[in-house]
C-alpha cells in the first residue's frame, strides 16, 4: 500500500510532467484532456540538447565511469569558460596550450591534474571531430579484431 507522502510525491511528479500545478487540475491542465503521446504531431519538437548534455550522453554511450563523466564534463566546462564561452569547434591547439599553461602557472596544479584536463580536452576534440590537428598528435584509429 502506498503511503500518503509517496502518493503526494508521485502526484506532484505527474503534474510537473504535464506542465501544471496541483491547483490547476480543475480542467486548465492538459493532464486530464490530452495524453502527450496521442498528440505528438501537433506539439513542437523538443529543444536541442545543450552542449555539455550531449557530451554526457556520449560518455554514457561509451560506458565511461560516472566519476570520469563528472570529471571530464567539469574540465570541459572550465575550458569553455576560460575562453569566454566560445564553442570548442572554434578553438584548437593555441587555446588548449593557453588553458594548460594557465593551470600550471596561475593555478599551480600538479602534473597529474594537467594530464586529467588534457585527457578531457582530447576526448572533447575527438567527439567534435577535429582531433587530428590538435596538439600535432595524430588521431588513434580503433582497429577491429577482424582486421
Do 56 and 40 sit in the same domain of this protein? no
Please check whether residue 109 lies inside any domain of the structure: yes
Please check whether residue 142 lies inside any domain of the structure: no
For the chain, give the percent of residues with pLDDT over 90.
40
- Tell me what the mean pLDDT of segment 27-33 comes to: 49
Averaged pLDDT score across all residues of the chain: 75
- Of the two residues 51 and 17, the one the predictor is more confident about is 51
- Tell me what the mean pLDDT of segment 98-127 comes to: 92
- Of the two residues 14 and 75, the one the predictor is more confident about is 75
Domain containing residue 117: 51-136
The per-residue pLDDT for range 61-109, each reduced to its tens digit, is 999 999 999 999 999 999 999 999 998 888 888 999 999 999 999 999 9
pLDDT greater than 60 at residue 59: yes
* Alpha-carbon distance values, 76 to 7, 36, 85, 123 (Å): 40, 35, 11, 9
Please check whether residue 26 lies inside any domain of the structure: yes
Number of independent structural domains in the chain = 2
Please check whether residue 143 lies inside any domain of the structure: no
Which residue has 594530464 as its cell numbers?
115
Cα–Cα distance, 27 to 23 (Å, whole number)? 10
Cα–Cα distance, 42 to 122 (Å, whole number)? 41
Of 79, 73, 46, 81, the residue nearest 57 (C-alpha): 73
Torsions phi, psi of 41, nearest 5? Answer: -70, -30
- CATH number assigned to the domain comprising residue 82: 1.10.150.130
Amino acid at each position: 500500500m502506498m503511503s500518503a507522502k509517496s502518493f503526494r510525491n508521485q502526484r506532484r511528479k505527474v503534474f510537473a510532467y504535464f506542465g501544471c500545478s496541483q491547483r490547476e487540475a480543475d480542467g486548465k491542465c492538459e493532464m486530464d484532456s490530452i495524453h502527450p503521446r496521442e498528440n505528438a504531431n501537433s506539439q513542437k519538437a523538443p529543444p536541442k540538447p545543450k552542449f555539455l548534455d550531449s557530451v554526457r550522453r556520449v560518455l554514457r554511450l561509451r560506458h565511461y565511469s560516472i566519476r570520469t563523466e563528472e570529471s571530464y564534463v567539469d574540465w570541459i566546462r572550465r575550458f569553455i569558460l576560460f575562453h569566454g564561452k566560445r564553442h570548442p569547434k572554434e578553438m584548437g591547439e593555441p587555446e588548449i596550450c593557453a588553458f594548460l599553461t594557465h593551470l600550471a602557472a596561475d593555478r599551480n596544479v600538479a602534473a597529474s591534474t594537467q594530464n586529467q584536463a588534457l585527457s578531457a580536452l582530447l576526448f572533447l576534440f575527438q567527439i567534435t571531430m577535429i582531433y587530428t590537428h590538435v596538439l600535432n598528435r595524430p588521431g588513434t584509429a580503433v582497429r577491429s579484431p577482424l582486421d
